[in-house]
């Protein structure tokens, strides 16, 4: 039985979807994953929650495969991706440093939730709403993954949203005299109280 169908069964039976599960994680390493810098597990003390701001996992994969850093021939991605049905895919192993949050990559794990976000007009000042809710299966899978990571990584202590850590403003695409947030994920519909109540991690507030 896959992880997503376990989540569905629990919900159908009235059981909370945030109970720890034996996670079924599909490994789908990025082509350049082996070129990312290695690190010790003790170095990891933070999880950063993102949303893809793309319509589906296939497009997120396409973005993840793009080589954006010429010197290392690597690109930007999270470590784990959680689809709307709760399926978890690992693009980068935790012992590698993925490029997902400026200034925090060496000590953090990036988890991406598939969600449309502001796509396709990320920086249009008239289209800054984050309207798509996260699914029960996604949040259940996220909580189970966080519990698993907490058990595996001895120094994991903090959790943050991408928007907590990258607070830069950029010119709006429709009117450059205006500015909009560079990152808004995971956004206003992410259930922080539920997630924080379920896992023994402390939210890292912006500086």
Residue 205, pLDDT score: 77
The per-residue pLDDT for 120 is 97
pLDDT, position 141: 98
Peptide bond into 186 cis (omega under 30): yes
Residue ranges for the chain with pLDDT beneath 70: 1-22, 206-207
pLDDT at 20: 41
3 state SS for 148-183: HHHHHCCCCCEEEEHHHHCCCEEECCCCCCCEEECC
**Domains of the chain and CATH, by start:** 3-203 (3.40.80.10)
Per-residue model confidence (pLDDT) at position 6: 42
Q: Which residue has the tokens 């945030």?
A: 18
Integer Cα distance of 53 and 56 in angstroms: 9
In a 10 Å sphere around its CB, with 0-12 CB exposed, 13-18 middle and 19+ buried, how is residue 14 labelled? exposed
The pLDDT value recorded for residue 5 is: 44
Sequence-distant (6+) residues with CB within 8 A of 55 are 116, 119
CB 95 within 8 A of CB 101: no
pLDDT of residue 206: 64
Residue 96 has what DSSP assignment?
B
Helix (H) or strand (E) holding 100: none
- pTM passes above 0.85: yes
Helix (H, G, I), strand (E, B) or coil at 79: coil
The contacts of residue 50 (CB under 8 Å, 6+ apart) are 78, 100, 101, 110, 111, 112, 113, 161, 162, 185, 186
Examine residue 120 and say whether the peptide bond preceding it is cis (omega within 30 degrees of 0). yes
State the Cα–Cα distance between residues 71 and 192, nearest whole angstrom.
37
């Amino acid at each position: 039985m896959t992880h997503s169908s376990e989540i569905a069964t629990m919900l159908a039976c009235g059981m909370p979807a945030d109970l720890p599960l034996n996670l079924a994680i599909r490994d789908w390493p990025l082509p350049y994953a082996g070129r990312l810098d290695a690190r010790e597990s003790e170095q990891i003390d933070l999880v950063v929650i993102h949303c893809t701001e793309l319509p589906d996992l296939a497009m997120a994969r396409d973005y993840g495969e793009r080589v954006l850093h010429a010197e290392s021939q690597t690109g930007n991605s999270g470590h784990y991706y959680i689809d709307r049905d709760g399926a978890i895919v690992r693009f980068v192993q935790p012992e590698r440093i993925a490029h997902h949050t400026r200034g925090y990559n060496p000590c953090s794990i990036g988890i991406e939730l598939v969600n449309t976000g502001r796509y396709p007009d990320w920086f249009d000042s008239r289209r800054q709403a984050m309207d798509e809710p996260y699914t029960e299966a996604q949040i259940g899978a996220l909580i189970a993954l966080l519990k698993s990571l907490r058990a595996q990584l001895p120094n994991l202590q903090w959790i943050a949203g991408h928007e907590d850590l990258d607070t830069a403003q950029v010119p709006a695409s429709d009117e450059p005299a205006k500015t909009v947030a560079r990152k808004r994920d995971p956004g206003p519909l992410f259930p922080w109280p539920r997630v924080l109540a379920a896992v023994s991690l402390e939210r890292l507030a912006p500086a």
